[in-house]
C-alpha cells in the first residue's frame, strides 16, 4: 500500500476542508433558506459531517 507524502497529505487536508464547507452549506444553510420545514436531522448531520471532515483535515495537515 502506498503512503502519502507530506505534500499530498497537506493537499488532501485542504480539499477536505473545502468539502466540509460544501457539506455545511448544503445541509445546514440549505435548510435555512428553503421554503420547507426545517429538518433537525439534516442540520445535525451537516454539523457532524463538518466537524468530522475538519478533524480529519487537521490531522492530515498536522495543524493543531
Residues 43, 28: contact at Cβ < 8 Å? yes
What is the CB-side half-sphere exposure of residue 60 using CA atoms within 13 A? 20
The rounded radius of gyration (Å) of the Cα atoms in the chain is: 15
What pTM did the predictor assign? 0.76
Q: Say whether pLDDT at 64 is over 60.
A: no
Place of cell 451537516: 46
Residues 5, 35: contact at Cβ < 8 Å? no
- Kindly indicate the confidence band of residue 55, based on its pLDDT and cuts at 50, 70 and 90: very high
Amino acid at each position: 500500500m502506498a503512503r502519502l507524502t507530506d505534500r499530498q497529505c497537506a493537499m488532501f487536508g485542504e480539499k477536505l476542508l473545502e468539502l466540509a464547507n460544501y457539506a455545511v452549506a448544503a445541509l445546514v444553510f440549505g435548510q435555512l433558506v428553503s421554503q420547507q420545514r426545517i429538518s433537525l436531522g439534516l442540520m445535525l448531520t451537516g454539523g457532524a459531517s463538518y466537524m468530522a471532515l475538519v478533524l480529519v483535515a487537521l490531522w492530515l495537515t498536522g495543524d493543531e
